Each structure stands twice: as C-alpha cells, then as structure tokens.
Structure 1
Amino acid sequence: MHGTHNAISDSRNDAIKISVNGELFSRENAKISVFDSGYLVGDGVWEAMRLHHNTLVFLDEHLDRMWTASATIGMKLPWTKAELTEKILDVLNANEMTDGVHVRVMVTRGIKKTPSQDPRLTISGPNLVIIPEFKIADEATKKKGITLFTSTIRRGSPDYLDPRLNCHSKLHEVQALVQAIEAGADEALMLDVNGFVATCNATNFFIIKNEEVWTSTGKYCMNGITRGKVIEVCRLHNIPCIEKDFSLFDVYGADEAFVTGTFGGLTPVTKIDGRAIGDGNKWPLTNKLSQLYNELIAMQIQK
C-alpha cells in the first residue's frame, strides 16, 4: 500500500503496552467487550497525537477538540483534561517512549446492557483506550507524493453528521477510500453536498494557485489540527491563504496540491483523477510550508 499513513516498520511495536481503562495489556491481549458502544454503533470519539522529544505536540488543541466532540454527542467525560493527560503520559512512560510516537486515544460511551443505539442502556462509564506506537512517517511518501480519486461518496451535511466531528462513525470515509483504491489511486478526494471540494477520506486538502494557498471553507471537512496550523503559518509568514468554495475545475488547473494530517504532516499530491497536478515532482511552496510547519512543532518542543 502507498498513502499518507505509510510508516517505517518498527519491531518495538510487537511488545507495546496498551491501556484499557487504566490497565495495561500486551498487544495481543488488549481487548474490549462486544457490548461496547463503539463496537456496536460507532458511539465514541477519538484523537491522535504525536510525541516529539517528550512533548505531546499541540496537546491543548487535541484535548479541546475531544471535549467539543464529546459535548456534541452528549457524552460527559469523567476526567479533567489534566487527568487525561496524566493517563496518556503514564502509558508513554510504561512503554519508555520519548520520541517518534503516535498516540491514539479513544473514548466510547461504555458497555451496553444489550445491543442498541439507546444511550440509556449503557451500564458503565465511558471506556478509554490508549494505543501508543513507535511510528514515524516514511519520507519516501513525501518524495513520491500521493494520487487521489474523486469519490462519489459526499461529505455529510452538518444537520445529520457534522463532518467536523472526530467520531468513531467513519464508514462513509471507508467507502470513499475503497472507491479510490479500486480506481487505482492512493486515497480519496471528497466533495461537499454542494459539489465543492471538501476534504480527503483521512486528511485535509489544499491547492496552490498563483502562489495563493486555497482550502475549503471548513464547513464540510474534518476539523484538522494540522490544517489549522498550516493556515496559521501562512498568516504568520504573509503567505496568502484563503478558505473558500472551489471546484474540481480549480483543482485540475492547480500549480500544486497537498494534504495534511497529524501523522504525515504535509504530503504532496501528484495526480487527481488521473490528471497530473502542476509540474511533476516540483512542489516549491508545499515544501516551504512543510518546513514552516516543522518549525512550529520545534517551537512547541522548546516551550
């Protein structure tokens, strides 16, 4: 496979300890009940964050997003942000992890009395799973870039499942990715309900036209932390960055395109729907933004 989640293989992950409600388990023994709300109906929220040089990068933003998502689905978290941070750090310390780590934090509504959507049938508090892995993005992906295919699966409207919600219900993104893979692409580009470009199945999408950086309005895309940081560095360095509606007409004629995500940072896009984007493998502004984003991470580490 080739895509934004390509990672360098690390045998240390065979022996990682995973936290399930505060108890540590080996990878093969980390299990949760089949009556868990997340397993039964996708009822839960999650975050993924990076550990660089003993620093959980952009931690405040990730926690804010998790608390917002939990409030959105009517699930009260039984910890403070400081307490959840301690739980994450405990797992990292137990694994002797200090750098090059990807942490996935998942919270579901809890155990159900019987299979059902009804939250009143939940008989436990929220389930918390923390999975830390030694995981570094493969630089070959950035050098090669990725290809996209525009899926017929649209991003949802905010009135039925807000696309900004980082929840366990990801089936429509999976459907979009399946279409893209079957079409021979690496990942999927998704349009919003009005036909404008919204996002990708697991990353946020940007194009560059005439030295301007364009991304969607944010109404129909994932509330990406990296997306927000790219917009921030553009403004800090006087690089025009516009959140706007644009269509595939604009995308096919772009000078450059890239996607953003917590794991891979910025990854160039070489083709969309079989059409080459820009000038082959030359991505001057994408590379500059990637450098500025890495400098922002370095500033976080130094705090």
Structure 2
Amino acid sequence: MQYYNQNTLIYFNGEFAKAHSAGVDLFGQSLHYGYGAFEGLRAYATHNGTRIFKAEEHFERLKNSCEAIGIDYHWNNQDLIEKTYKLLGLNNLRSAYIRPLVFSGSNMHLNADSESSLMIAAWEWGPYLGHNLLRVFTSSIERPTPKSFRIDAKVSGQYINSILATSEALKNGYDEALLLDQNGFVAQASSENLFIEKDYTIYTPPLSNIFPGITRQTVIDICQELNFDLVEKNLTIQDVHEADSAFLCGTAAEIIGIKEVDQIIYQEEWEHTIGASIQRKYKNLVLEQENYEVII
C-alpha cells in the first residue's frame, strides 16, 4: 500500500515537513543496526471528534523503550500528543494509524550514539490482519528470551524476529504465526498478544516472555469490568489446540478472532464466544460509545 503522497506531512524534529523530502541518514545506527524505538497508536472518529486511544500510555512506553536501550529521549510527551493531533488535522485524517519513531544519528560504532531524532507519521489503515477470522500456525521461529533482550521495549531491531515469523506463516498459506518461548510455552503472535477461551474462562500467557501490550491490558480490564474469568498462565500448544476459541489483540490488529491453529478448526462459532463480546466492547470503547450491548 502507499503510505504517503506528494502532499503528506510528517512531524520531524520539531517541524511539519513533506514526507517525500525528509531524507534518510545513510550512516545512521538505526538503519544499519536497528537501533531505534517506535510506537503504534490509533486515532478514531468518535462523536467527540478525532480521538487517539490511550495516547499517554503509548508515548510513555516510547520513552521507556528509548531509555531501556540508551537512546536519548528529550521530548515532552504532552507536547508530542498535541503535535500528533495537529498532524492528523493537517493531513485531513479522522481515523488513522500513527507511527512515532525515535532513531539515532550517524555512528558506525556499536556504542550508543548521543544524538536522537523523532518522526511521527500517520496514514489511513484498516485492521492490520483484516476482518476475517485468522488461520494461524506454530512458527519455527522462537520468541527472544528476556535474558538476551529487553522484550518489554518496542525496539526496531527486535522486529526482525517478527518479520521472519510472519513471512514463514504467509509462505505456508497462513495469516499469522504463533511463537513459542525458550521453554516451549506459547508466547504470542508475531506482533499481537494471544488469548484463548476454554470452558467459559479466558486464558493468556503471563508477562514473563511476552510483549506487555497496551491492548492486552485493555482486554484484561474489559474482562474485569464484564466479570469474565481470566487466568494468566503458561500455555502449551496443546492448550491452544484444545481451546473452545481464541483471538489476537494489538493496536494495529485491534481484536481479531482465530478460525484455526495448525489446521485444527475451532468448533465454537466466533459470534457466540466471550472473545466476540470483548471485541464488541473494545470497539465501543475506542469509539467512545457509552451505550453498548454485550451479547454472549
């Protein structure tokens, strides 16, 4: 897809500039070594106008990700949120995906560079994995271990792992991949968190070896609000195969149901699952619709 045209503006180092003329530092550490941090946010057209969902949480995580790997973060998050809203207006976007990126300066050494820049872009983008129920398979690619990398940081280089897993899934005719951790437990999908339903209880892997998604926490909050039983525990691939239903969640993908895992088809109709109820509640939440109906 085309992410920008001749008129698209981005926010770049304190100014609004044309995306096509911003330029790339060919000697930057981020380009050569993946030394950068990014975020993904969504803006929604609500009855209160264009609203960015959980903007404060996302920009705070961007700051924490930079600090986790030693990139200087010298911006005020409230100012960045205001600039992001202005960017949406300048590009005539009411609903959009938003991508802030912090990247380092020219440095071919492996020491942390002292300079950092920030870019914010936005474009129209539907749910990352579409609207249809997903076909998922267990990847041969393993989730990075917490001992080798700060897996709670949203760092550019880490997503090579996700690209490999996603490419493997698509090559084998699937929509998305599930990654196991170093102990053989199910961790997450390539860029989404996993929830399964079994006997009217929702299960999800614990935080130890997964990315602590903001959407994941939102799902947990929804379960508490609607009195759905939720358990965080290590899950085997057999647990996933024997579940009544399952779904993935993330800012880009939102909440999307799974049809099958490793060619094992879930027999429960998605619309009758707890996951579907959570999906409807989530949509009402991001659209700021207070009067919602939950059907189980």
TM-score, normalized by length of structure 2? Answer: 0.88
1:234-280, Cα deviation, whole Å (9 max, x unpaired): 01111011111010111111111110011231101111112212336
Say whether residues 1:89 and 2:79 are aligned partners: no
Say if 1:259 and 1:267, in contact at 8 Å, map to a contact too: yes
SS at match of 1:227: helix
1:31 to 23, 28, 35: 23
Q: How does 1:131-280 map to 2 (within 5 A)?
A: 131-137=121-127, 141-142=130-131, 144-169=132-157, 170-279=159-268
Whole-angstrom CA distance in 2 between matches of 1:300 and 1:45? 32
Tell me the distance in 1 between the aligned counterparts of 2:2 and 2:25: 29
Cα contact 1:148–1:186 (8 A) shared by 2: yes
Q: Name the TM-score, length of structure 1 as normaliser.
A: 0.87
Indicate the larger mover: 57-66 or 80-89. Answer: 80-89
- Which amino acid in 1 is paired with 2:152? R
Following TM superposition, by how much is the alpha carbon of 1:36 offset from its aligned partner in structure 2, in angstroms? 2.0
State the 1:281 CA deviation: 5.1
What residue identity is the alignment partner of 1:60? E
Give 1:88-107 correspondences, 5 Å limit: 88-97=84-93, 99-107=94-102
CA shift digits 1:183-226 (9 cap, x unpaired): 21111100111111110001111111011111100211122111
Alpha-carbon distance in 2 for matches of 1:260, 1:81: 25
User: d(CA) in 1 for partners of 2:81 and 2:290?
Assistant: 16
Please report how far the alpha carbon of residue 118 of structure 1 lies from its aligned counterpart in structure 2 after TM superposition: 1.6
Matched residue SS, 2:208? coil
Tell me, yes or no, if the aligned pair for 1:252 and 1:272 is still in contact at 8 Å. Answer: yes
Unaligned runs of 5+ in 2: 292-296
Counterpart-to-counterpart distance in 2, 1:199 and 1:57 = 22
The farther-off stretch of 18-27 and 145-154 is 18-27
Please, which runs of 5 or more residues in structure 1 have no aligned partner?
Answer: 1-8
**Alignment: residue pair count:** 286
Contact 1:215 1:244 in 2 (8 A): yes
SS of 2:130's equivalent in the other structure is helix
CA distance in 1, matches of 2:56, 2:18: 29
State percent identity of aligned pairs.
Answer: 26
Q: Does 1:19 align with 2:6?
A: no
